[in-house]
Amino acid sequence: MREACGIFGVYAPGEDVARITFFALFALQHRGQESAGIATSDSKKIQLFARMGLVSQVFSEESLSQLTGNIAIGHNRYSTTGSSRVCNAQPIMVGSGDNAIAVAHNGNIVNSERLHKELCEKGYIFNSSTDSEVIANLIHSAPGKDWMEKIRYAMHRIQGAYSLVILTKDTLFAVRDPFGVRPLCLGRINGFWVVASESCALDHIGALFARDIDPGEIVAIDAKGPQSYHEIVEKKATCIFEYIYFARPDSIVDGRLVYQARLAMGAQLAEEYPVDADLVIGVPDSATVAGIGYATRSGIPHGEGLMKNRYVGRTFISPDQRMRDLGVKMKFNPLPDILRNKRVVLVDDSIVRGTTTPKVINLLRKAGAKEVHMRVCAPPIRYPCFFGVDMASRWELIAAHKSVEEVRDFIGADSLGYISIDGLVKSVGLPGDTFCKACFTGDYPIPVQLEMDKLALELR
């Protein structure tokens, strides 16, 4: 399961804004590894550099030194709409001269087909296949006397999940959709202002966290400092998976440190599904903290029975079938001396398709584990996500068509316990009605009728 993107913006005249953005994108690399890009403005023109690859592969000393200016935005991408091609890399730039804007987007909009058609009829030509270019062109073509009015108009037309950073020649805008599906926060650096998908990016560049940007809020940052406009918000629906998996544990999302939420998920699983065992392992890295939480609450020792090779990314996976077959072995190495003859509790963040989990359990058994009891921080995922998470189509989701017992049998575990929805909400520690939980419940906060119709066809 992959998340859509990481975004960042900085308004800091006199500072090396491209380099600040580069380091912030490094900290947000976990949110997208396919492409990276930075756009800067020197108050006269916008410059853009975006390529396929990790942040460290995309930028060189030379490319960074050419990105001069007072304002910058940056983007790490994992594709959820549009294919993995350089033309889909962001930021996206539309317009020209004083009228040019660059846009970076995290999320997924559900009415992009209709808006795309409408914009094509108006004569707009698209260079990519992303919904992000639809957003950029919609803002650019919107009626309004200034960019704030144009952005507000676009917000009334767009349905779905979007956290945006927008660069005009003299202003940085940060926008969070009225449901607040994806996170976005504001920080200060050397008397200037930054915005980022996650607060961990602020920590790495020496910025101070100021606050989360509210659902429905537009923040405009220019020489006068930040000014906010709030759209009416009917219902907040932040993606609860930010706490389970996407966000880094050292990030604060909507006032809650992700590390603490994961620790509580592990403890909750120990309450809901106790078992006699000798060792608790969290699948690294996303479930490491939850593993500690389970161990602490249950009193069963926590250990590292699986080592993760953190440098195996999509980019380096060989197209060669023999290497692909190694799959999970390239990523995880079990420790037989730790696992031999042990009854193991294995804590993971989620089970999506159920393709990886049996292989991990098999690795543990081959390394000598006597029993493997699976505990999962996400309730069964039965519905796909339309808001920027590349999960799977419904027929691929194992919990959509198998009972818990059938999943247990399929993955080869001795027992299986998924956290309850109430237990998950309690662990995050924020009101339950402020989250999107649609992939567990099918109750989407934003109308997704068109997509549901496609889903029905797919299931036929």
Q: Which stretch binds ligand SF4 (CB under 6 A): 17-25, 189-197, 318-326, 433-441?
A: 433-441
Say whether 163 sits in a helix, a strand or coil.
strand
Q: Which stretch binds ligand SF4 (CB under 6 A): 19-27, 110-118, 329-337, 382-390?
A: 382-390
217-276 binders of ligand SF4 (CB under 6 A): 239-241
Rounded to an integer, what distance in angstroms lies between the CA atom of residue 459 and that of residue 453? 10
Q: Which stretch binds ligand SF4 (CB under 6 A): 83-91, 147-155, 255-263, 384-392?
A: 384-392
CB 269, CB 296: distance < 8 Å: no
Which is nearer to ligand SF4, 374 or 385 (by Cβ)? 385
Identify any residues that bridge with 48 across adjacent strands, giving them in sequence order.
39
Told to check if 387 binds ligand SF4 by CB under 6 A, we report yes
In the list 67, 430, 438, 455, the residue contacting ligand SF4 (rule: CB under 6 A) is: 438
Which is nearer to ligand SF4, 42 or 396 (by Cβ)? 396
Told to check if 155 binds ligand SF4 by CB under 6 A, we report no
Told to check if 169 binds ligand SF4 by CB under 6 A, we report no
The CA–CA distances, whole Å, from 211 to 195, 252, 370, 438 equal: 10, 10, 48, 27
Is 239 one of the catalytic residues? no
Rounded to a whole number of angstroms, the minimum distance from the CB of residue 438 to ligand SF4 is: 4
CB 447, CB 110: distance < 8 Å: yes
Q: Which helix (H) or strand (E) holds 209?
A: strand 208-212
Rounded to a whole number of angstroms, the minimum distance from the CB of residue 238 to ligand SF4 is: 8
CB 135, CB 126: distance < 8 Å: no
Burial category of 234 from C-beta neighbours within 10 Å (exposed 0-12, middle 13-18, buried 19 and up):
exposed
Rounded to an integer, what distance in angstroms lies between the CA atom of residue 317 and that of residue 312? 7
Told to check if 389 binds ligand SF4 by CB under 6 A, we report yes
Q: How many residues does the chain have?
A: 460
Q: How many residues bind to ligand SF4 according to rule CB under 6 A?
A: 11
Treating both helix axes as pointing N-terminal to C-terminal, what angle do 147-157 and 131-141 enclose, rounded to 10 degrees?
130
Does a cis peptide bond (omega within 30 degrees of 0) precede residue 98?
A: no
Rounded to a whole number of angstroms, the minimum distance from the CB of residue 314 to ligand SF4 is: 19
CB 179, CB 161: distance < 8 Å: yes
In the list 151, 436, 446, 455, the residue contacting ligand SF4 (rule: CB under 6 A) is: 436
176-205 binders of ligand SF4 (CB under 6 A): 181
Which is nearer to ligand SF4, 173 or 387 (by Cβ)? 387
Q: Which residues are catalytic?
A: 5
List contacts with ligand SF4 (CB under 6 A): 181, 239-241, 385, 387, 389, 436-439
